Structure 1
Amino acid sequence: MVNPLDYNIGVPAEDLGNYCPGGYHPILLNDRLHDGRYEIVHKLGFGSFSTIWLARDHREQRNVTIKVVVASKSDETARELDILSALKEQGDPAHPGRKHVSHLIESFHHEGPNGRHLCIVLGMLGPKLSSVVEDCPEYRLDGTLARSVSRQLLLAVVYLHSVGVAHGDIHMGNVLLSLPDFEEASLEAIFEDLGPPQIGKVERYDGMPLEPGIPEYLVEPAEYGVEVDEETCEIQLIDFGESFFIADPPKLISTPMPLRPPELVFQRPLTNAAHFDEDQGLIPQFEKVLGGLPQQWIEEAIQAGVFKERPDDSSKEFFRPLEEEIRRSYFDDRNTESLDLTQADLDVLGRYLRRLLVVDPVLRAAARDLLDDPWVLAEEK
């Protein structure tokens, strides 16, 4: 078992302890994958179950993204691969939401010292929306840009539903800016934006050799220097690890708790209406923010043993109704002259979100019906 405390690394990167049998593949810059077709040129990120790399496709002379899955999860990722394949093969190329979803180029397996790794090749991906927000004043997008992003994300969801897929894990970390110019750009031009790769040599403090399966250095994930143009900004929805086919929903998905739809909290069947004992902490918010829960759900959850006792909703007094929360978060302690949305705009937004945030999925607006909502149509003009 690798103990990261035994090592000096030098750059912020993934947990070195995951370079073990069943874990990460030890990738180095300039490595060639898939019979030499893909050359690793930079790192874009990492997660608990994968590392993400920028690679040069020498066959097609373009830049791509490669997700290298840990060996222990490479077989489990088959569902994600099935969904990506379905989107590639069954989606309507003319659908306006298609360009807002990342698409599979191909997949292959790579044998390494830590096991057999699934490699998923996608188009060139840009920065996470969550990272863009961190650089925005007061950590939030400009109102006009946020409105544009919400419409594009809705189009992406409608496209997924047209192929029979529900995403299951939509949040700002899974929404990326699209960088079409980067796909054909030279590496020099990309490095001008990303900066050259920063590496940290991996060394044991005791001077002993590295254990098998540990890379000689780690690469710090790149930081994009892209300036966001609200007039031309386009997004892509990524990461289908929690996605499922609507006709065959799983019993549970691992969506982060704050984003879980009410039916997941009550362990009711999942549907494509899912826009998003510890889950019970969400119930007071459902009560106050969304305006209540079907009492039958609570009774059935108790009878089925989902809840051991009636949920405590006493903390609901600390939450605000949806419309009040929208007004407070947008206007409070801010110079209204610098804001680009009016109270009338927020009223339209509130009515739009009310259609989305309905506890009972049977009564929740379908994504395709929301395309005609005044909030969405106004953004098109």
Structure 2
Amino acid sequence: MVVAKLGFGTNSTIWLCRDSKSQEYVAVKVCALRQKFRDGDARTQAESEEAVTAFFNSIQIEHPGINSLRLLRSRFEVQGPHGTHPCLVHTPLGMNLLQLRNTMPNQVLPTPLLQHTLLRVSFGLDLLHQAGVVHTGIVPDPEVFSQIDRAESETPTILKPTEDITIYGSRPLPITQGIPIICDFEVILGMEWDEKIDIWCVELVIWDLFQGTRLFYALKDRILNDEQHLAELVSLMGPPPKEFLERGPKCREYWDADGNWIASTPIPEQSFDMREAQLKGEDHHLLLALIKKIFRWLPEERATAQDLTEDPFLTQFLKKN
């Protein structure tokens, strides 16, 4: 039973469905026919996701990250006017970390809970990265399905029947908070990127959940602005090395050959040490050390997911317990 349309992307639409017998919710992703990947291979989104699930189901895995992965439950196909669409069935997500954070005093996750959560995420990423898979979707606020179900019952989504198909409107997401800038700066500058983009996103999630504020705002006149984003990066990380500047021609719009900032947006006066306000003493220094492992201009210098599973800050709660 289809409850509501959750939304859409460039390659799929997502539907919240409920089993009329068990009353169990599932999320069904109806995929587009074909898409082009970065390597130029024509491949369906379903084939890519099914390949990941099939790989992990085909091997004996003792890695602790396997329990953190959300693999496909099943698949089926539907016939559309232009071809056959693969449909991927997932277990829907429940309460997200942002909602959980907002139930806490001062809207900040307790340190042990943050450490436990991010350690599990790191184990999951380590397993994915070992298999050559990049997640690219780490955020603290996925959809809340019960809100959509109630909203659909009370005010059904507008739909437009045509001769061959019915077009459904997308249900607005009930959560509008979260990190507006989740992408890595390599994406902004048009550079090649790899699994280290996931590590960057982990740190943004840590900051958002634990500090109760966004690390980057990247707004100019209330509009997301790449130059403002990069200026905030420079204020926290310092100037980029020459090796980084040589990797993308767009860098010349913001820095000279020596790494000096030449864009018109002023560099904010701030530092990680100034902005980290939740911890004191050794805990404060351990968190800053973790942050500095991740916030590196050169992706190859950033911590790996495996490094995070052994990080003194993220594993601190294990020693205390």
Matching residue of 2:68: 100
C-alpha spacing 1:113/1:379, structure 2 compared with 1 (3 Å) = farther
Name the counterpart of 2:29.
68
8 Å CA contact 1:197, 1:220 repeated in 2? no
Identity of aligned residues (%): 15
Aligned length: 273
Under a length normalisation based on structure 1, what TM-score does the superposition of the two structures give?
0.58
How far apart, CA to CA, are the structure 1 residues paired with 2:307 and 2:317?
16
Instruction: Structure 2: state its 5+ residue gaps.
Output: 37-42, 201-224, 256-260
Identify if the C-alpha distance between structure 1 residues 43 and 201 changes in structure 2 by more than 3 Å, giving closer, same or farther: closer
Instruction: Please give the alpha-carbon distance, in whole angstroms, between the structure 2 residues aligned to 1:280 and 1:216.
Output: 37
Counterpart Cα distance in 1 of 2:157 and 2:137? 34
Match of 2:282 among 344, 352, 366: 344
CA change 1:297–1:195 in 2 (3 A) is closer
Q: Does 1:85 align with 2:15?
A: no
For 1:1-381, what aligned pairs fall within 5 Å after superposition? 30=1, 40=2, 42-43=3-4, 45-48=6-9, 49-56=12-19, 63=24, 65-69=26-30, 73-76=32-35, 78=43, 80-91=45-56, 92-112=60-80, 117-174=85-142, 198-201=153-156, 211=162, 213-214=165-166, 258-274=181-197, 275-276=199-200, 279-298=226-245, 301=248, 304=249, 307-308=252-253, 310=255, 312=262, 315=265, 317-327=267-277, 330=278, 342-380=280-318, 381=321
Cα 1:291/1:96, change in 2 over 3 Å = same
Q: CA deviation at 1:289?
A: 0.9
Shift of 1:315: 4.6
RMSD: 4.0
Cα deviation for residue 173 of structure 1 reads 3.0
CA contact (8 A) 1:83 1:165 kept: no
How big is each residue's C-alpha offset from its partner over 1:38-76, in whole Å with a ceiling of 9 and x where there is no partner? xx4x44833445233133297xx7935232336xx3423
Query: Gapped runs of 5+ residues in structure 1?
Result: 1-29, 31-39, 178-189, 224-255, 331-340
Counterparts in 2 of 1:215 and 1:85: CA distance versus 1, 3 Å:
closer
> Does the aligned pair in 1 maintain the 2:27–2:92 contact within 8 Å?
no
1:370 Cα deviation from its structure 2 partner: 2.1
Distance change in 2, residues 1:112/1:195 (3 Å): same
Q: Which structure carries more relative contact order (alpha carbon 8 Å, separation 6+)?
A: 1
Secondary structure at the aligned position of 2:75 is classed as: strand
